[in-house]
């Protein structure tokens, strides 16, 4: 009951019904399915967060989380960041970026326009590594074409603190994050102690927006796209949620545009608007309707 008296020294463990209520709201808000194997870890995160916020007990924390829009907006982001531990690095799953490079070059060879503009969306971009990898891939393909072509990449994530890191474009130990020496020299300004920053001409090609993947895309930057990259995002979702997300992505993709997802993230189902591309080591679809 809200207002129940309890102290930090006697903070009770989360009652099962309170945890189930919180878990239901979290999964509805984020689309992330929390497995039973992680329940102990999630409970620990919640217990620690109650202490960090100085709440008298979990009931009060939960009430404030659900009733205060300002408190709730910040807290959901913090909890998402603490609970959803995502691995990210540059050029993650190299076969996908090799495919995108081939796809872009072929598209540019077949173009009718004298100088087409290409646009791409990196969904669930976290701290920006995938969005910048996409931009580097597009840069090499577009500026190697005759005549050169322009492009724009938009990275989105639900976590604002991750997006702040992405906008800065500062990273450590590039060689451990999948960046080869040629790319490091071409696209990064080296600093001291293993720190490097994405060069300005690349950062200028990438915009970052806060966006919940469960909601329809409303920004003009996320319309009429040539490429949507949704790698290693759907894996966190229930199967029906994965299909719902893909259905919401289709209207943002132009006919002939491609959607790439992580291998195995979308199996046993394909909407009529998409055709699966015959690539054995990636999972990619072209919009046909």
Look at residue 50 in the predicted model and tell me its pLDDT: 85
- For the chain, what is the domain count? 2
Domain shared by 128 and 264, yes or no: yes
In sequence order, which residues have a C-beta less than 8 Å from that of residue 115 and are 6 or more positions away?
147, 148, 149, 150
24 lies in the same domain as 107 = no
Q: How many CB atoms lie within 10 A of CB 153?
A: 28
Sign of CA dihedral 72, 74, 75, 81: positive
* 2 domain-assigned: no
Helix intervals (H) in 14-172: 16-30, 39-53, 58-67, 69-83, 94-109, 129-142, 160-168
* One domain for residues 100 and 229: yes
The reply to whether 3 falls in a domain is no
Please indicate, yes or no, whether residues 117 and 220 belong to a single structural domain of this protein.
Answer: yes
230 shares a domain with 184: yes
Same domain? For 69 and 140 the reply is: no
Give pLDDT, residue 63.
Answer: 86
Kindly compute the dihedral angle of the four CA atoms of residues 236, 239, 245, 249, in this order, to the nearest 10 degrees. Answer: 110
pLDDT at position 192, please? 86
Each residue's pLDDT tens digit, 132-168: 999 999 999 998 877 778 999 999 998 888 899 999 9
Residue 175 sits in the same domain as residue 282? yes
The per-residue pLDDT for 113 is 64
Final residue in a domain of this structure, among 55, 83, 111: 83
| Close Cβ partners of 24 (under 8 Å, ≥ 6 residues apart) | none
Q: Walk across the sheet containing 188-190 and list its strands.
A: 170-172, 195-198, 188-190
pLDDT of the residue at 4:
40
CATH number at residue 211: 3.40.50.150
216 and 277: one domain? Answer: yes
CA–CA separation, 118 vs 116, rounded Å?
6
- 139 and 49 fall within a common domain: no
Within this chain, do residues 244 and 188 fall inside the same structural domain, yes or no?
A: yes
Q: Can you give the residue range of the structural domain that contains 19?
A: 8-83
Regions of the chain short of the pLDDT cut 50 = 1-10
Indicate left, alpha or beta for 120 from its phi (over 0: left) and psi (-120 to 50: alpha): beta
If one counts every other C-beta atom within 10 angstroms of the C-beta of residue 97, the result is 22
Residue 277 lies in a domain: yes
Q: Is the same domain home to 105 and 205?
A: yes
Please, which residues bridge with residue 164 across strands? none
Tell me whether residue 89 is in a domain.
no
The residue among 83, 104, 125 that closes a domain is 83
Cα–Cα dist 189/18, whole Å:
49
pTM over 0.85: no
pLDDT given at position 9: 43
DSSP-based helix, strand, coil % in the chain, nearest 5: 45, 20, 35
112 inside domain: yes
Distance CA 16, CA 34 (A): 15
Domain boundary among 83, 103, 128: 83
1 occurs within a structural domain: no
Residue 268, domain member (yes or no): yes
| 238 in any annotated domain | yes
Instruction: Tell me: do 115 and 79 sit in the same domain.
Output: no
Q: Say if CB 231 and CB 93 are below 8 A apart.
A: yes
């Amino acid at each position: 009951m809200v207002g129940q008296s309890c102290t930090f020294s006697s903070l009770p463990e989360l009652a099962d019904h309170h945890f189930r209520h919180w878990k239901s709201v979290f999964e509805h808000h984020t689309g992330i399915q929390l497995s039973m194997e992680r329940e102990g870890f999630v409970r620990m995160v919640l217990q620690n967060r109650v202490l960090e916020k100085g709440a008298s007990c979990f009931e009060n924390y939960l009430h404030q989380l659900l009733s205060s829009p300002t408190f709730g907006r910040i807290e959901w982001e913090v909890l998402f960041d603490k609970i959803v531990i995502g691995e990210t690095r540059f050029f993650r799953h190299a076969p996908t970026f090799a495919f995108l490079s081939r796809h872009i070059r072929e598209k540019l060879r077949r173009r009718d326009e004298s100088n087409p503009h290409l646009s791409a969306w990196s969904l669930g971009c976290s701290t920006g590594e995938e969005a910048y990898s996409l931009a580097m891939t597009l840069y090499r393909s577009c500026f190697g074409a005759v005549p050169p072509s322009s492009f724009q990449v938009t990275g989105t994530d639900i976590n604002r603190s991750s997006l702040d890191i992405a906008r800065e474009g500062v990273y450590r130990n590039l060689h451990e994050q999948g960046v080869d020496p040629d790319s490091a020299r071409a696209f990064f300004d080296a600093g001291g102690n293993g720190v490097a920053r994405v060069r300005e001409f690349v950062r200028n090609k990438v915009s970052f927006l806060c966006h919940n993947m469960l909601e329809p895309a409303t920004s003009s930057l996320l319309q009429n796209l040539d490429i949507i990259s949704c790698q290693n995002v759907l894996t966190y979702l229930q199967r029906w949620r994965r299909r719902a997300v893909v259905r919401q992505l289709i209207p943002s993709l132009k006919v002939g545009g491609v959607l790439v997802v992580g291998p195995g993230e979308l199996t046993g189902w394909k909407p009529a608007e998409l055709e699966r591309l015959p690539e054995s080591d990636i999972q990619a679809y072209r919009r046909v309707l």
